[in-house]
Structure 1
Amino acid sequence: MKKTSQKTVIFCHDTYYCRHSNQEIYAFGAFPYKLWVERFLPHFDQVKIIGRDKGACDSDVSMLDCSSGPNVTHILLPNINAPLKRLLQGRRLYKEIYRQVSEVDGVIIRGPVEFGMMAAKAARAQKKPYAVEMSGCAFDHTWFHGSIIGHLYAPIKYLRARHMVARADQVIYVTQRFLQKRYPANGRIEFASNVEITAPEEAVLTQRLTRINTKPSALKIGLIGNYGNALKGLDIAINVLGRLKAEGYKFDLHVLGSGDPQRWHEAMKQQGLEEHIHFDGTLPGGDQVMTWLDGLDLYIQPSRHEGLPRAVIEAMSRGLPCLISNAGGADELLDPYCIHKKGSADQLYYQLKGIWSDWSWQAEQAENNFLRAKDYTAEVLKPKREAFWQQFLSKL
């Protein structure tokens, strides 16, 4: 792809990064160097990443993604996601972000994050174009974080996010309807999920149907997400599975992600689930996660907040039957029966009871999900993104 001139952009998100003694930068999220190479460097010559500073990471980083490489630099700033931290440090960090924006040609913002909203403000002040990848709902994420301060701040952050999106030069949404309705844009818009999977081979579905046909006596259930807070609904899963265990259902729940398992110890103990819930830590994105998913019988995600959930699409691509909440745009992915109202343990409980030994339903969902996941392959999404970013490049 031909570039007309040397252009540099800032990319803002609130992902944590750490610096290793080998001089590399590692990401605590799905932001490997491969992402910059495949999605942004074909259009822009240099990408500066603004993210949160996790400090030094001289221990084992084999479970993290290396985010650094040629033509990519990282500007790591203190965490100000909490309203009090933003109040105390916001002005100083805005000055730094303003200075960084002054040195580039445009700004790209993923999601309604604090650094991003500051960068958007700085871009408007300097009459520089900015584009938003709208990946989640500011209100839901803040409200369901679980604190009183979060409840107070959620309406404010919602309005700030609407302001940012409405004034953006371009917006690419990860949902087809949900985020567009809550955060309308006036600039050029596009829909393309920020989740991109490799087209699964037909053998994946064959193996899944074979596994279902074995009719396992105990289901191996999976959930992916940060268990350092309640946003992914792990407390709901514990509640529901405790009720099912009391009725004689057999299962194990495996949780993949980061956080402190001790946070959930008391709830697990009360439900008698200490030996039935397993925290599997983190894995690098890609093949290892797919292998982990292949070892499950069912995927659940009772989230309180989502944009368009990556983990659900990855689970679908492995032919997994899924039961998820209607948070964000999640209900755009599955059949209505597979969706429960966010926060409703009762609905998830009855859904699980209804499908537990319904092998024909599980096989039907395996086939449906496997086919729908193909809408999120690179072959489908890449042309949309390339046209979007080429148009943004023309505005720099």
Structure 2
Amino acid sequence: MAKLLISCDDYIFHHKGKYYFKNQEWYDFYQRYLRVFEKLKICNRVINEKEGSKNRIHCNDPRIEIHPIPIFHGPAQYTKSYFAIGRAMKSAIDGCDAAVLRLPSTVAQRLSKQIIKAGIPYATEIVFDAHDGADTANSFIEKILWRIIDKQMQTICANAYGVSCVTSNYLQQRYFSLKSDHFESNYSTLALDRSFFTGPRHFPNKKVLTIAHVDLQIGLHSRKGTDIIILALAKLKKKGIIVNIKFAGEDWDNSTQKILAYAKKHGIEEQVECTGFLNRQQLDEYLNNSDLFVLPTKAEGLPRVIIEAIAKGMPTVTTPASGNSELIPAHYLVDFYDVDTLAERIEELATNKDTYEQVSKVNYEHSLQYEASILQRRRDEFYTKLKYFVT
């Protein structure tokens, strides 16, 4: 019975002696590896909670073992906990026959040294472009850290038995294996059931259209361009074009109040709303009730939120960062700081029925290749090839 070790940039939660996944979606995520491997060991950071959340899913599958790593956030805490993390990792690979490292991930990258030294066959799943992260970093220190991460990711991939990227072509240019008998694939992290897809849209029969914007954690001056959208909507308002925006995502560092204050500063406070965290059902409703999707972003892998948006037939405006060009037509890829062009593209879609419906049709038809059963077949094939190397 082959046991797979997986490590990624995710948190496991601990409460009253039991381990929990963040929510049902993350529970389902780990189950995909058990379609091929008989047992699974998860080596991730663990957060101790005094009170359990109603969204948490108990890890009661006897096939799953949790190998806890002390919690840390950011480089400073990682440095402070460096030796404690090392001690916690000592037995992480024990009993494992193969490994999957989802990168970038501080824990997975450090764990790779043990895996390579032990000669355990492993594969990588690349979900974010560290090189773009370095190019778009806000500080010199952050830029240096991303360059180190990028170099580590290239080295880990070079020695991997298999490499899969969330993009079809973009990430593969930097992250690839040099083994002569390696295997490759590409698939998104998403698992969108066919019922999630809704079809191309008709032009909304409403006076004011609403933009959707989704992030794990909202922030004012963030990599996801929250402030850029507000500036674009302020420009449109001066032209007499009113478009609303709803920012979805967990509040971080009092970001809701900062965003609303920024909107008020630019005269569009009545057009801006922050919804907070949305579960899967709420996200479904949120996208169904929105009209456009806008995501100015500095760096990505292949944004799942864009795939979700176009699966709903939503005309979408984003940036040419990372794998976005594999999802959205070039005309609707706008440079991050180009507020004027962003406003123009939003205006085109919000005021022109033919353009809106044509873009919706193109986006929806493209989204069908990301349906869950299609991606699952690729994952199963990828994990099966890795299992082949288990002695």
TM-score of the alignment, normalized to the shorter chain, above 0.5 = yes
Rounded to whole Å, the distance in 1 between the matches of 2:387 and 2:3 is 10
Whether 1:7 and 2:10 are equivalent positions in the alignment is no
1:14–1:362 Cα change, 3 Å: same
Query: Are 2:103 and 2:109, in contact at CA under 8 Å, matched by a contact in 1?
Result: no
Contact 1:31–1:67 (8 Å) recurs in 2: no
CA-to-aligned-CA distance 1:240-284 (integer Å, 9 cap, x gap):
122222332212211111133234344223212333221111122
**Secondary structure in 2 aligned to 1:131?**
strand
Bigger mean CA deviation after superposition, 224-233 or 50-59 = 50-59
Confirm or deny that 1:267 pairs with 2:262. Answer: yes
Q: CA deviation at 1:25?
A: 0.7
Q: Which amino acid aligns with 2:214?
A: I
Q: What stretches of structure 1 move > 6 A for 4+ residues in a row? A: none
Change beyond 3 A, Cα 1:8–1:142? farther
Equivalent position to 2:130, from 132, 138, 148 = 138
Which one is further off, 243-252 or 292-301? 243-252
Stretches of structure 2 that go unaligned for 5 or more consecutive residues are none
* SS of residue paired to 2:317: strand
8 Å CA contact 1:102, 1:126 repeated in 2: no
**Which residue, out of 219, 228, 234, partners 2:209?**
219
Residue pair 1:27, 1:67 contacting (<8 A) in 2 also: no
CA distance in 2, matches of 1:201, 1:79: 34
CA–CA distance in structure 1, aligned partners of residues 222 and 51 of structure 2:
29
Is structure 2 residue 126 aligned with structure 1 residue 126? no
Aligned AA (1:42): R
Residue in 2 that maps onto 1:378: 372
TM, length-normalised to structure 2: 0.90
Aligned residue type for 2:331 = Y
Indicate yes or no: 2:69 matched with 1:69.
no
Q: Which residue of the partner structure matches residue 41 of structure 1?
A: 34
Q: Distance in 2 between matches of 1:56 and 1:79?
A: 12
SS at match of 1:205: coil
Measure the CA separation in 1 of the matches of 2:224 and 2:196. Answer: 29
Identify if the C-alpha distance between structure 1 residues 20 and 144 changes in structure 2 by more than 3 Å, giving closer, same or farther: farther
Distance 1:344 1:129, change over 3 A: farther
Q: 1:298, CA displacement in angstroms?
A: 0.4
Match of 2:308 among 314, 337, 349: 314
Aligned residue runs from structure 1 range 49-68, under 5 A? 49-56=42-49, 58=51, 61-62=53-54, 64=55, 66=57, 68=59
What CA distance in whole angstroms lies between the structure 2 residues aligned with 1:339 and 1:253?
19
* 1:313 aligned partner, one-letter code: I
Distance of 1:155 and 1:145 partners within structure 2: 10
Please report how far the alpha carbon of residue 351 of structure 1 lies from its aligned counterpart in structure 2 after TM superposition. 1.4
| Alignment-mate amino acid for residue 317 of structure 1 | A
**1:1-396 matches, cutoff 5 A:** 6-21=1-16, 23-27=18-22, 31-37=25-31, 39-56=32-49, 58=51, 61-62=53-54, 64=55, 66=57, 68-70=59-61, 71-80=63-72, 82-141=74-133, 144=136, 146-186=138-178, 187-200=182-195, 204-205=198-199, 208-209=201-202, 212-214=203-205, 216-225=206-215, 226-228=217-219, 230-260=222-252, 261-285=256-280, 287-396=281-390
Query: CA–CA distance in 2 between the matches of 1:31 and 1:125?
Result: 33
Q: Which moved more, 1:330-339 or 1:44-53?
A: 44-53
Q: How many matched pairs?
A: 381
CA displacement at 1:220 relative to structure 2? 0.7
AA of the residue aligned to 2:293: Y
| SS of alignment partner, residue 356 of structure 1 | helix
Q: Secondary structure at the match of 2:108?
A: helix
Task: Tell me how far apart the structure 1 counterparts of residues 76 and 83 of structure 2 sit (CA, whole Å).
Answer: 12
Summarize deviations over 1:337-379 as a string: whole Å, max 9, x none: 1211234333312212233201111111221122111100123
Shift of 1:95: 3.7
Shift of 1:102: 2.7
Contact 1:165/1:183, CA 8 A, preserved across alignment: yes
Q: Which amino acid aligns with 2:47?
A: K
Cα 1:168/1:33, change in 2 over 3 Å: same
Q: Note the aligned Cα RMSD (angstroms).
A: 2.3
Give the counterpart letter for 1:264 in structure 2: I
- Mark the runs of 5 or more structure 1 residues left unpaired by the alignment: 1-5
